[in-house]
Amino acid sequence: AEALKINTTVTRIDLDYNDIGNTGARHLAEALRINSSIAIIDLSSSEISDKGIRHLAEALKINSSVTNMNLQCNEIGPRGAYFYAEALKINSSMTKINLGENQIGDKGALYLAEALKINPSVSAINLTANNIGDEGARYLAEALKINSSLRQINFAGNQIGCDGCWILHRVCLERATDVTIVSFSLNHFQRDVACRDEMIQGFLQGSKPLTLTSRHIIGLNEYIAQLLMGFDIHFIPQVTSCGLFVSAGSVVALLLTCVDGLHCHPA
């Protein structure tokens, strides 16, 4: 860390699985207050708790070079999420955030949501395995209605049920700018058959047709895709594109631009 206060050429630091702990995080934070070249930092599995993230968060309020910080598999919890979120309200250089496996819960999701309503730079965030439920999903959905920079969110391995999943997808579909939910796998709705079926019916019984590009389809897990195949699907072959129309009272149009009939790109 002392060397980083002087060095101006190093742009990436990889300290994953080094167990630097809160003391190491404090020393690194002191360096980040001065260093202006480091852009990417990997601190995954580093035994950092809310105490350590507090030091790093204070540094991020000052630092303008770091764009990507990986904090996956640490122990920051809701309190750590609060400190991190406060930094994001000020920081405008961070573009990628990885807080997977940190048990931030619904309260942590609330703190992050409030920050994302203000932050202009974050484009991708990983929130896998954080014990986030429908309440946290609602907070984040409200933030997505306001935020215009976020493009990718990973919600895999949380406790999100039908309500939260539907709310998030609906916001993504209706938002003026494109956003992709990378994954909803291993969430609560997938472990409840009635819940899964209810969510699919929600997609198919909207008050108006929904237009989905292949970006949105990434967010539909394999189980949802299988359920959709159970409905009346009509293929409309064309030279440069193909359309899938799923009929169940109202119509959901899945518009894809296809290459070689197999590999699809966003329309």
What does the pLDDT look like over 79-125, one tens digit per residue?
Answer: 999 999 999 999 999 999 999 999 999 999 999 999 999 999 999 99
Give the integer Cα–Cα distance in Å for 95 and 121.
5
Q: Name the nearest CA neighbour of 119 among 169, 60, 176.
A: 60
Inter-CA distances, 26 with 45, 48, 167, Å:
16, 10, 38
- Judge whether residue 162 has pLDDT over 70: yes
Counted residue by residue, the chain has a size of: 267
* Residue 241 pLDDT level (bands cut at 50, 70, 90): very low
Average pLDDT over all residues of the chain: 77
Three-class SS state of 254 = strand
CA distance 148 to 131: 26
Residue 43 to residues 18, 34, 75, 249: CA-CA distances in angstroms? 8, 19, 12, 50
C-alpha torsion 211→170→132→222, nearest 10: -30
Give the closest residue to 217 by CA, choosing from 248, 189, 251, 181.
Answer: 181
Nearest-angstrom CA–CA distance, 110 and 136: 6
Alpha-carbon separation of residue 257 from 176, 214, 218, 235, 244 (angstroms):
20, 8, 14, 13, 11
Predicted confidence at residue 254, as pLDDT, reads 36
Q: Average of pLDDT values for 147-164?
A: 86
The candidate with the shortest Cα–Cα distance to 56, out of 30, 37, 81, 82, is 30
Least confident window among 102-106, 188-192, 241-245, 254-258 = 254-258
Question: pTM of this prediction?
Answer: 0.76
Residue 49: DSSP 8-state: B
Which positions ≥6 away from 183 have C-beta within 8 Å?
128, 154, 155, 156, 219, 221
Largest interatomic CA distance in the chain: 66
